[in-house]
Copies of this chain bind each other. A is one copy, B any other.
C-alpha cells in the first residue's frame, strides 16, 4: 500500500522499516530530518512536512510522543490536513500508534470526520523497541471497522497481535491505559519484593527462580527482577513515558461518571512514579521507580 509514516523515533523508525520490508510504499517524515536517512536507504521517500508526506496518499501512520504532538502533525502548520486528499474514495485514514489521551483521541477523530471526511483509528502498541524491530508488537485498535480493515495489511507488517478492541475512537487508547496500569503496579510488586528479599538477607536469584513460574509469576518479575539485582536500569521503556501514560489514565478516571470509584493502587503507582521522575530517574527504565526508597 501507499502510505505516509510520521515520526521516526525509537518506535516509529523500526515500525516504518518493517512496513517497507513488507513491500509497502512509504513516505517518511520526522521533525529532525536526519532520522529519515536509514529509512530512505531502505527505499522510503522523505518528505519535509506532514502535509507533503500525505499528498496523493490515502493513509498515514503516526508514531510520536504525546497528545500535543499528534495534534501538531494532524492540524498544525503544515499538518496532514493541509496535504491530504479531502474527496474521492476511499476516505483518508489516520492511524495513530502513539500512546496518547483517549479524550484527545475522540476529539481528533471527530474533527477529522466532520471537517475533512477522514477516518481515524487509534492503534497504540506495546512490546517496546525490541517488539518494534522484530515486528512482534501488540496493537490495540479503537475506531470504525472500515478504518481497521483498511489498516490491517499494514499492521500485519509490524505486529503479531492485532485486536480491534471496539468501534469507538479511544477504545484502543483505553486498552493501552489498562495495560500500563498493570505494568506499573506489577513493577511495584517486583521492586518491593526484590528490595524486601535483599533486606531479609535472601539469595534473591534463588528466590526469583523458585517463584517466577508459580502464582507470583509475571513478565515484570521475570524480566525486571533480575535487572534490579544486577543494577541494570538501561532504558527500554522510560519512567517518564510511564508517568505520561499514567497521566492519561488519571485524566480518564476524572472523566468517569462514577465520581466515587476508588483506585488506590493506581494512585500509589502514580505518586511513586511522579516522585521518582522528579528525583531524576525519568530516563531510566521503569523499574527504577523504587530507587527513591533506597
By a beta-carbon cutoff of 8 Å, the part of chain A in contact with chain B is 102, 126-128, 138, 140, 161, 163, 165-166, 168, 171, 174-175, 177-186, 188-190, 192-193, 195-197, 199-204, 206-207, 209-211, 213-221, 223, 237, 249, 252-253, 256, 258, 261-266, 268, 272, 293
Q: Report the nearest B residue to A190, measured CB to CB.
A: B182
The answer on a CB contact under 8 Å between A193 and B178 is yes
A174: which B residues are within 8 A, CB to CB? 197, 200-202
A207 to B172, CA, bound (A): 9
The answer on a CB contact under 8 Å between B210 and A161 is yes
The answer on a CB contact under 8 Å between A265 and B266 is no
The answer on a CB contact under 8 Å between B272 and A264 is yes
A206 to B165, CA, bound (A): 6
What are 27 of the A-B contact pairs (CB < 8 Å)? Answer: A126-B214, A138-B210, A138-B213, A166-B202, A174-B197, A175-B207, A175-B211, A178-B196, A178-B202, A181-B193, A182-B218, A185-B185, A185-B188, A185-B189, A185-B265, A186-B186, A186-B216, A188-B265, A189-B189, A189-B265, A195-B263, A196-B263, A217-B219, A218-B220, A261-B293, A262-B293, A264-B272
The answer on a CB contact under 8 Å between B178 and A182 is no
A221: which B residues are within 8 A, CB to CB? 182, 218
Interface of A is mostly: helix
Assuming A179-B211, A216-B126, A218-B182, is B163 touching A206 (CB within 8 A)? yes
A266 to B195, CA, bound (A): 12
A265: which B residues are within 8 A, CB to CB? 185, 188-189, 192, 265, 268
Give me the 3 closest cross-chain CB pairs, A-B, nearest first.
A185-B189, A218-B218, A182-B216
Assuming A202-B171, A209-B163, A210-B138, is B263 touching A216 (CB within 8 A)? no
Q: Which of A161, A199, A210, A266 has the most CB of B within 10 A?
A: A210
A37 to B215, CA, bound (A): 31
Q: Which of B175, B207, B213, B256 contacts A199 (CB 8 A)?
A: B256
A130 to B246, CA, bound (A): 37
A188: which B residues are within 8 A, CB to CB? 185, 265
A193: which B residues are within 8 A, CB to CB? 178, 181-182, 185
Assuming A181-B196, A188-B185, is B215 touching A219 (CB within 8 A)? yes
